Amino acid sequence: MEAWAVIVAAGTGTRFGSPKQFADLGGRPLVAWSLAVARRVCAGVVLVLPAADVQAGGAWEADADAVVAGGDTRSASVRAGLAAVPLSAAVIAVHDAARPLTRPALWRAVLDAVEAGADAAVPAVGLSDTVKEVGEDGRLVTLDRSRLVAVQTPQGFRAEALRRAHLDGQDATDDAALVEALGGRVVLVEGSPDNLKVTSPTDLAVAAALMGSGT
């Protein structure tokens, strides 16, 4: 089945202090690492950047088949990327550029799960911390962490299911939530604790350390 990837890298980096997708990691922009892995695994790759950077033309962008401008929200940026994915694609993976350490094996596991019949497949890891819910009155409720997981990207989708989920222009923190809302079958694959999401300069330093250690 023909698989394409949408790499979402259109954020402004408010928490990071600058557009983190262009921060240096191992001598390359952070986004370049996700782009290179997607290129190895998928038939085509769409890169979504801030509108002001679409024409920048970095050498690493050669790994993308199309570079498009993102929107005001993550979901809007995904929709912009989807519009550039050809209709021949049967499976579409959506990945946050802020996760530069994702291994090809995890990409393949997600894509394989969709090809096996799921509407969507998401990598997830169990929680090691105790998690509490804060009620409206400020009271805390301890949740059963054995039933909770932290979800990562890349997330894989049957192309028709992902396009249908985005038709009404809704926003969500991840695309699987939109598929879930339509009753789609979403399955979990085993994620990796090393699949770090860079949200702060400290995270970038950790990513560089992990990369240097060969982890």
* pLDDT band of 214, cuts 50, 70, 90: low
Split into its structural domains, the chain has a count of: 1
CB–CB of 94/166 below 8 Å? no
Q: Is-cis flag, bond preceding 123, omega within 30?
A: no
pLDDT of residue 211: 87
Per-residue pLDDT tens over the stretch 108-148: 999 999 999 999 999 999 999 999 999 989 999 999 999 99
Residue 180 has pLDDT above 70, yes or no: yes
The label of the residue with tokens 């995270």 reads 203
pLDDT tens sequence across 3-35: 999 999 998 777 787 888 989 999 999 999 999
At residue 155 the predicted structure's pLDDT band, cuts being 50, 70 and 90, is: very high
Of 92, 112, 83, nearest in space to 189 by CA? 112
Give the domain range for residue 124: 3-213
Percent of the chain surpassing pLDDT 70: 97
Rounded to 5 degrees, φ, ψ at 130 are -70, 135
Say which residue, 28 or 215, is predicted with more confidence: 28
- Residue where the block lists tokens 């530069």: 100
125, 191 contact by CB (below 8 A): yes
Two tokens at 210?
């992990």
Q: Tell me 184's DSSP state.
A: -
Q: Rounded to the nearest 5°, which phi and psi values hold at 104? A: -55, -35
* Torsion, CA 13, CA 14, CA 15, CA 16, rounded to 10: 40
Q: What pTM, to 2 d.p., does this model score?
A: 0.93
CATH, residue 29:
3.90.550.10
